[in-house]
Amino acid sequence: MKAVVLLSGGLDSATILAMAMEQGFTCYTLSFNYGQRHAAELNAAKKVADAMKVAVHKTIDLDLTQIGGSALTDKNIAVPQSSSAGIPITYVPARNTIFLSYALAWAEVLGISDIFIGVNAVDYSGYPDCRPEYIAAFENTARLATKAGVEGKPFRIHTPLIQMSKAEIIRKGTELGVDFSLTVSCYQADAQGHACGVCDSCRFRKEGFVNAGIPDPTIYI
Amino acid sequence: MKAVVLLSGGLDSATILAMAMEQGFTCYTLSFNYGQRHAAELNAAKKVADAMKVAVHKTIDLDLTQIGGSALTDKNIAVPQSSSAGIPITYVPARNTIFLSYALAWAEVLGISDIFIGVNAVDYSGYPDCRPEYIAAFENTARLATKAGVEGKPFRIHTPLIQMSKAEIIRKGTELGVDFSLTVSCYQADAQGHACGVCDSCRFRKEGFVNAGIPDPTIYI
């Protein structure tokens, strides 16, 4: 039983990898070098994949800076230090659709039907492509898009974190032995993976450790 | 009124570009350098975009050879010279989903709601991601994936060729002034864009010109 797991190097995806392994899946992890500011997360993804002994870890280069339109992919847009109403400027247009498309391609080539993605609709910042209705729509598209789907082998997009709070995710990961000190969540971490402590992603992570009652291993700048 | 048009350098996408312009759209064309054997098609796309005076032509690098699994993206798999039953080995897993995801990202950044893609469900080789039900599913995913969709501005995926025969497409393109001598359809064209004449794509194109009663400007190797 095999699964493709999208691994960003953050806390959430490290936890879904552990959950997929707990369910008995042999895991093929996929990261993207998409021109993000925080390249430290790619090193973190590699470290997590190594530590958790995945079958294959692949990093795909795709240059979303050619598209732009987000604080994460355009150096001219600043990362905000506090939440604002609505969908934040760190939203990367169609990012999860692009990521899931690659996961789908790789899964089909490997003959795999299960894909795990660490989206979260609760604590998260209101990204539209983290909602259950979006995931269901993509699953339907995947079925119709592929040779495997046509041949009656649909794809399942697993989102075990989708309704969990950050504290619940941290408790679950801790229970499964995830080493969160390897992970990087910060939108603007330095080369060593040290976190800014003030961006949305840092604030959710910090609060999560506090609410979980688990010591925060993050090193802040 | 603006549209993103996926431009492969082939006959079909040159025709949809002309059709989009006929409908009054200012066109932003998008090509992909995806590790295809037939890099000549990227030059063709550029020539078509220049000849038809599009607003912006963008070529995005994305390395599908890292994924493999198709005669078009894996040099170890030969391009077949005759049709076989079922979905052919030139099928690239999830290719149109990946391409449409990028088109969606670029459209959202540009504030554009209309995307044109030259898929064809009639003459084509049975690729699952060329069928109307697939396009409808992607359109739904696009609506749910994006900030624009959430804000009530859904995306329309235009597929004006989907029910046309190759001969009808050639007639339509000719009527709109498309210079088909600039286009390359062959799966294994040489660097100058000369066609093999024997692959599926060449055979559909050749037959199309014959059936349309229009001289074939293709130069064969």
Query: Nearest Cα to A105, choosing from B116, B61, B34?
Result: B34
A window 46-75, beta carbon within 8 A of B: 58, 60-64, 66-69
**What is the DSSP code string of B68-112?**
--STTT-TTSPPPSS--SSS-TT--TTHHHHHHHHHHHHHHHHT-
- Chain B residues whose beta carbon lies within 8 Å of the beta carbon of residue A144: 128-129, 131, 133-134, 137
- Chain A residues whose beta carbon lies within 8 Å of the beta carbon of residue B139: none
**Cα distance from A212 to chain B (closest Cα, Å)?**
30
Are A104 and B97 an interchain contact pair (Cβ–Cβ within 8 Å)? yes
**Cα distance from B138 to chain A (closest Cα, Å)?**
6
- Chain B residues whose beta carbon lies within 8 Å of the beta carbon of residue A63: 60-61
Among the residue ranges A117-126, A195-204, B144-153, the one predicted with the least confidence is A117-126
For residue A34, the model assigns a pLDDT of 80
A window 141-200, beta carbon within 8 A of B: 141-147, 149-150
pLDDT digits (tens, 9 = 90+) for A166-186: 999 999 999 999 999 999 988
- Chain B residues whose beta carbon lies within 8 Å of the beta carbon of residue A115: none
pLDDT digits (tens, 9 = 90+) for A17-67: 999 999 999 999 999 988 766 678 899 999 999 999 999 999 998 877 778
For residue B71, the model assigns a pLDDT of 63
Contact A67, A93 (CB under 8 A): yes
DSSP A80: P
pLDDT digits (tens, 9 = 90+) for A71-121: 666 667 666 665 555 666 667 788 899 999 999 999 999 999 999 999 988
Whole-model pTM: value is 0.89
Q: Hey, what domains does chain B have and what are their CATH numbers? A: 2-212 (3.40.50.620)
Of A101, A134, A145, the CB nearest to B144: A134
- Supply B33's token pair: 């350098």
DSSP A113: -
